[in-house]
Structure 1
Amino acid sequence: MPDTAIPADTAPRILAVSESAAKRVAFLIEQEGNPNLMLRLTVSGGGCSGFQYGFGFDDTAGDEDHVFEKNGTRVVTDDASLDLLAGSMLDYVEDLMGAAFQIKNPNATASCGCGNSFAV
């Protein structure tokens, strides 16, 4: 998959994972000591812009989950979250301000300064 987000008007129900994000997730999973873990990405109501992203680890995927893989690293999200994430890209960015996961979401019409919440 390319390392860019997909335009919102053509966004299929996929979540792209950048090379940088895949490497960071693999590193964090190695630190946890459980190779069966996946990064779970969720969207819930809240935050200063209406919706907020959530990150955690999970070792199971349910019937309503969608799993996306990059270089053996798996990212899982539920069906409702994927509606708001469709066409997005999960990235991991390191710069002078620090390091963090970023979601490049073509569905977001606005986001807060910290990048953890968005509006559609």
Structure 2
Amino acid sequence: MTASDIALTEQAVERIHAILSNESPGAVFRVSVEGGGCSGFQYQFAVEPAAGVEDALLEQGGARVAIDPTSLGFLTGARIDFVDDLMGQSFRVENPNATASCGCGTSFAI
């Protein structure tokens, strides 16, 4: 499994690039999967000063996304999008590994 097994939409690339343009050089947008949420797992998004040694790194159009090895297993084949609609702005993950998800859009089950 590598970060290339995860797709970023053009909207996600643009938003991540915009977020990172205000950070120090080498900063990354971290996507991770944590236990919790109403369906068992939840997606977490954060900005960090640098990628970790074991992180998979996805770079596209100025967007640098770091994913830890454990989270990578949950995200293989996923598509990360950024949506700006009447409900607000958010990153959304379309994950083929999820068997159920919650209405909040950040919680899922495997």
Unpaired runs of at least 5, structure 2: none
Match for residue 31 of structure 2 among 19, 28, 41: 41
**Residue matched to 1:70:** 60
Task: Give the TM-score normalised by structure 2.
Answer: 0.90
**Residue matched to 1:22:** 13
Q: Within the alignment, does 1:81 sit opposite 2:77 as a pair?
A: no
Give a deviation string over 1:59-104, Cα, whole Å, max 9, x none. 2222321001111211110010010000101110111221110001
DSSP-derived class of the 1:23 partner: helix
| 2: CA distance, partners of 1:35 / 1:96 | 33
Counterpart contact for 1:87–1:106, Cα < 8 Å = yes
Kindly state the Cα deviation for residue 35 of structure 1 after the two structures are TM-superposed.
3.2
Q: Percent identity?
A: 47
Instruction: Kindly report the root-mean-square deviation, in angstroms, between the aligned alpha carbons of the 2 structures.
Output: 1.3
Unpaired runs of at least 5, structure 1: 1-11
Task: Give the TM-score normalised by structure 1.
Answer: 0.83
Counterpart contact for 1:17–1:69, Cα < 8 Å = no
DSSP-derived class of the 1:61 partner: coil
